[in-house]
Structure 1
């Protein structure tokens, strides 16, 4: 997204770099009179956006950013492109979080949408207690369960089945999607930045996209993106009590058994399978057709087509050999 989706987030009044620096606790190095409208990551920022650098691994992105302003540690100030204004801060990420709060606000469910505006036609069923926020739309043949809350701007396709006591916000949902009771779609992803006054919540300005045919089990949580989207690919089937963190991009036809936990910014190919209680660390890529055995703890990328198991997860033959060897050593020691 070039800017946060206006259906879900209100963009507040523009602010000068100098005023922004005062609000976030930074120091203006240059460009104090430039006006800033929104926030964005380095790679997608334009001349009206403020971005930040907090990790040296993103220095290459800093060198080519089009951001109107960049918040950086003092040691990186000289690496900011000449066309960008500069705010220096020893807490660059926390300062950017404060800038996000100054420039954007999530739309709240202050008023309910009328059925006539929300529903495509009379085939839509809203069970007792359903609340639909302003700007939300629900497609033909969809049924929404009792006491479910659909947030402002949410788009739900045709022939969907949404269970009772579900909450859906900041989300675009395709056709023939099933979301079972108690699921939470679009809550804020877990993100915090360290600062001198303690951890600062990082506003989550992205969305959740559930493509056609997705199934989401009871009491499963799928967080919205921090800025980019969390995407669940077509026909992926997710069991009960699964956690999917922000910015994940899950491929088509994935299968996730109960208690699977996927950390933020994980990418999976198509036809990937996760056994029960599988766990995946952040920023990991799992190739097409790969499998993670039940209880596996994935801390490294998995190539396409491979099956991994154990903790830390390894190719299954290696994991089993190591388990057998360890069992033999224990037996020998007990006998000696």
Structure 2
């Protein structure tokens, strides 16, 4: 079934459950239930009206709002909330008291307890991995691993985000990344694949961490910095490549003085 038909179906279900007049023909629903392969196994969830697969294990106290879709073998703990428009892919696990707001997409992931995932977030999608073969062809590299949003460690193949870690908008986290607990990752930051971030780490806006980089706990990276080497000592870092913040400030001071001397030598006046 094409996306337009799915949206039409969901709108029809919403209108009928609210008792509103519906201009869509009943034959459409009959065609959907009888001829749409794979969708006949989804039932309307009593607590919210969303569509839940028969093979999903959903706690009765969980709310699945109208327009949300939960696929097969999904497990959701008690008192969680799935917002309208959200899609939970096969074999995803969601803990208790977690909230998915509107239009969230989950695949290949495991969400812990008391997590809040805001509108429009996509987690667990296929990674950006390619290689060039001997003939010069661009080949897609499989990226089918699991993303876990909780504190205990998984195997190196999984992407793990620890408890109480806050992630701002437009943040890119690569595959096989491990992030500790109580970290703060500000907007437009990017973490390369297989990088490891300790606990209580702060990444400023637009800063980047190269792949396979390790950062110890209690490190703060200034905005627009680039981490190209492992950071083994706690503290503040800045610049590109990122160095201890005090060293970066001294370098900038010398650079500014050099610029002033050059302008004076050329007779330029500010």
TM range, smaller chain: 0.7 to 0.9
For the Cα contact (< 8 Å) 1:131–1:147, is it kept in 2?
yes
Tell me, yes or no, if structure 1 residue 259 matches structure 2 residue 188: yes
Tell me, yes or no, if structure 1 residue 131 matches structure 2 residue 60: no
Matches within 5 A, 1:1-336: 110-111=38-39, 113-114=42-43, 115=52, 117-118=55-56, 120-195=58-133, 196-211=135-150, 228-336=157-265
Cα distance between partner residues in 2 of 1:163 and 1:207: 21
| TM-score normalized by the length of structure 1 | 0.61
What whole-Å deviation, never above 9, does each CA across 1:135-161 have from its counterpart, x for those lacking one? 111111111111111001111111001
Cα distance between partner residues in 1 of 2:234 and 2:208: 18
Q: Highest CA radius of gyration, 1 or 2?
A: 2
What whole-Å deviation, never above 9, does each CA across 1:267-288 have from its counterpart, x for those lacking one? 0111111111111111000001
Cα distance between partner residues in 2 of 1:318 and 1:304: 14
For the Cα contact (< 8 Å) 1:113–1:136, is it kept in 2?
no
Cα distance between partner residues in 1 of 2:42 and 2:231: 45
The Cα of 1:120 is off from its aligned counterpart by: 3.3
Q: How many residues align?
A: 216
The Cα of 1:322 is off from its aligned counterpart by: 0.7
Cα distance between partner residues in 1 of 2:57 and 2:186: 33
For the Cα contact (< 8 Å) 1:290–1:303, is it kept in 2?
no
Q: Supply the RMSD in Å over aligned alpha carbons.
A: 2.0
Unaligned runs of 5+ in 1: 1-108, 213-224
2:110 aligns to what SS in structure 1? strand
Cα distance between partner residues in 1 of 2:108 and 2:144: 9
Cα distance between partner residues in 1 of 2:257 and 2:210: 30
Cα distance between partner residues in 2 of 1:160 and 1:253: 17
For the Cα contact (< 8 Å) 1:230–1:246, is it kept in 2?
yes
Cα distance between partner residues in 2 of 1:318 and 1:298: 15
| TM-score normalized by the length of structure 2 | 0.75
Unaligned runs of 5+ in 2: 1-36, 44-51, 266-270
1:317 aligns to what SS in structure 2? helix
What whole-Å deviation, never above 9, does each CA across 1:208-250 have from its counterpart, x for those lacking one? 00116xxxxxxxxxxxx9x811111122111111110011011
1:307 aligns to what SS in structure 2? strand
The Cα of 1:303 is off from its aligned counterpart by: 1.7
1:193 aligns to what SS in structure 2? strand
Cα distance between partner residues in 2 of 1:324 and 1:167: 47
For the Cα contact (< 8 Å) 1:245–1:263, is it kept in 2?
yes
